Chains A and B, each alone.
Chain A
Amino acid sequence: MSAFIGIDLGTTFSAISYIDETGRPKIIPNKEGQNITPSVVADRDGKVEVGEYASKTWAIEPDKAAARFKRVMSDKEKRFTVGSNQFSPAQLSSFVLKKLIQDTQHVFGDIEEVVITIPANFSNEAREATMEAGKLAGLDVNFIINEPTAAALYYAFTKEKDLSGYYAVYDLGGGTFDISVIKVSGQDIEIISSNGIEKCGGDDFDKAMFELVEKKYLEKTGNKIDPRDFSMNDAEEEKKALSNREMTRAKVGRELIEITREEFIDSVAHIILQTELLCEKTIEESNIKVSDIKEVFLSGGSTRIPKVLESIEDTFQMKPTNTINVDEVVALGASLYAAYKGDRSKLSAAGQAAVEKIKILDVTNKFFGTLAIGFNESKNTYESRNSVIIEKGENIPISKTESFYVIRDNQESIELTVTESMAYQEDPQWVKKIWSGVLELENPDFVREGDEVLVTYSYDDNQIMNCKFSYKDGEFVEVDLSMTDAGNSDNNGDEIEVI
């Protein structure tokens, strides 16, 4: 039997799952026996080490280790120093993937299909970098899936009774926050709306705790904290301690710094508020009322924080559905997605029967447009404007065509741009240009102002967007933009051994 693998490549922790012989998704522990592996890479004598030990190295010798690289996944120039090496976020992610596969391959053997998860609001560059990480790790990754979609899939699959109606998937992990409203009927899942905050998660709570301790320590001693005396890992421990207590005493060198739960809550209130605002926005975008939501499903370790649970209850006016394995649901959903998208004949009979029932209807989670010259009435002038072609929240697959016009006689070429943005946007400064090219016109002498240029964007359910720019005489430029394409990589992480 070939394996269908799902990997949650998280900001702070990662996890791997597969579809077992009974057709159910199952987490595979790493060689340390843990279901989740810290997404931290450290140097150990020229080799790279991933996981728990690397995390400890990062806490006390940060120049020998790298963590939280997922937060800068879209930054192609960014390099992290790990010992004597410099690595890109994609390379570091590939080490985490290698570690997960190395530790667990004895359980599942050959890989048939592997799916990696990403936050809902990942930019195209970050998606590409994730696929590149898979490639560098030697994986043939054909699909990626948004984290809340994976979590939704898991919940819909594992519920004892069939779900029916609107549900929310609230995913607050170590680095990012995602919220999705889904509509479920049995195992038919329709993603209605998804939003995310790129930098909002457990790390930000840890940072808030660290800053509280740092401030009080400075007030008490007049000195700054020595990182050897109190690290971000220590701050995380104090944060966890406040989940069960009203007060904790952080040990910094020889000093004990008291932090109350109230002080901590005050310092993170604005972070929690950001999640509430995004939940409100997502419900609004879904054109439903809060009362239409039947259950709130949780994902991500930070959903264990009591104040977060309170906020969820306030926002959705109900207690979220109790789940033990909030750290694992994304990876579990990803392996189900691998089975759903892959060659099902390679699944066991039970697996085939289980996956057969699944149906996913996803939506675009960004606006896609092009740049054209438009008239700015307030400035009384023509300037470049973004014109949206595919809107956010459109059911996939979708194809849309818009007409544009040549602006002057004898024009020799037309500049082409494909843009993406999270909100409806006309100002080119606030859109991302994900592709640009030129349509050279063969007979400029015959080109007349006002000649039509048709722009067609087609987004299929494999997240490939075909963009065609065609001029009236059958001249056109066509490009396939894979929202999952790794592209060419000059990174080379293959030669480095991961332990």
Chain B
Amino acid sequence: MRSTSKKLSVTLMAFGIAIAMRTTMVGQAGPAPQEPRPSPAIDLSGYWSPAVNEDGLERGAGSELGDYAGFAVNEAGRLWALSYDPSRLTLKHHQCDGYVAPYQMRAIGNFRIWEDRDPHTVQLIAIHIWAQTTEGHRTIWMDGRPHPPAWAPHTYQGFSTGRFVGDALMVNTDHLKQGWLRRNGLPESDQATMVEFIVRHGDHLVDTTVVNDPVFLTEPEVRSNDFFRQPADHGAWLYACDDGEQIIGRPPDSVPNYSFGAQPFAKEYSRKYKIPLLSGIAGAPSIYPEFETKLKAATDADALPLLKPAPGPSPISRAIDPEPSDGEIHVWPVSGNVYMLVGDGGNIVVETGDQGPLVVDSGSGQLTGKIIKAIHKLSDKPIQFIVNTSYLPDRTGGNVKLRASGHDPSLVGSFFSGQFRDAGVGATIMAQQNTETHMVEAKLPADGYPTDTFLEDRRRKYHNGNDVEIFHEPHAITDGDSIVQFRQADVIVAGDIFNTTQFPFIDIKDGGSVQGEIKALNDILNRTVFQHEGQGGTMVVPGHGYLADEHEVVEYRDMMVIIRDRVRAMIKDGATLDQVKAARVTADYDTRYGANRGPWTTDMFVEAVYSSLRNPEK
């Protein structure tokens, strides 16, 4: 042992001397060539405060409504902003909205930055940024890990990875929630991504943000934010937000908004500063120098058409499809013993434990074999229960095979097994009675029909350590919809009542309605609890799309209420369906949810809203 250490010592000395000699010899031969090396870290650690020498009004008290100058917003973004009423922030589910990362870096407020390093290798794992405003906590992963899949949840701060490029920390962020580009209503969608470059010159830090948002922007939005270093903790932090009632007795389906063209403050901004109305709403041209000249000749006539949707066809969604189409089933852990399975059309939820799995919905039926295999990896027990949230094909398509693969031991040896030979054979399928009725009407395979139906508002069951509650939502997508809540795991399965991929599929002929859909979304919101600053906590599994929490449901509910308000106002004024369609009442949501082909187009959605409001359910 002693001999080994001597050898090691000699080796180390020789190694050091060899390197020293090599360095000197290289020097003798002339200037050493610059070898590319991995750029070492710049140190961002410490306490930082923003230098608010730019856009002080925006970042302090807040910009005026109608001031969207310098943003490359498209029609949808502009109209979304013009429809926004700041009173929306009085709604309980918006009071604690966080700031999305790009706006967080722009907001006024102090920051703390620190590093996580592996205690054994000292390698940089992550850089953390804690923001005073809305207590946003960003984690920038520096260890080369991949970004999560498209069906993973979105957060206000998003998912960030970084690397050092030259003297900058370059950060890529995605999986952002919907939030602000500017908090006077200018939206940034949940499809936005951000590239950042953070540089430090002495005690001056600059974070340049480049936001790409295919839904609301026509080109990347570049901004840069300055920070100065504090010598110590400034001790000026905030506290976690709690919501509460701001307006007592307000109807639950009220979302403050302005009809297109009715925003009273857009003109106020231009008149206050004696600048053309076009100033605030021109979009990308307003960013470039040529606009300075154009503005001098601008009149209200140039701007007025921009306050309403342009006539013509509606654009389609520019959002990425979060559902995989690789023919595989992918499992995403939701919370506790609850998992989301994606890949076979609609999302499927599996709850596991010491009893057989409880499965919510069975997908389209195309990949049921792989679904069964995936469930068997999560549990060695046969599927015991299947719950259908509606009769629709993407909810019930795999019922037959899934049921056949399962077994409900609670029926074996019971009274039923003496009465029915097949008691306990196959999984028990639960659903609201109307779901079974529609399946029979649609002549779907009988082996897939629910075997345990209910008629009233709530069905409950304690299973696998969860209080499992099934709530009937009458007249939402159909008249047989349910949502399923796992209390201990804190998960709600929304079925097609909520999704992140399209306008809600309101099936009027089978009992769906706009008012019922809004009520169902509010019922979900009445059962969610956020963890911190309006996000996390109760997770909501959509029928289609990425795993969500209450924020996505709130935005979806808002959309439904706003579009309903527009259509209802037009009906009140005697508008026909064609006139409603021509008014493009969904214009601010088309680039997010619109479709002009496939099973559910924008026109079909507008027709459903119109029809539902013209012929309200009794």
A associates with B: no
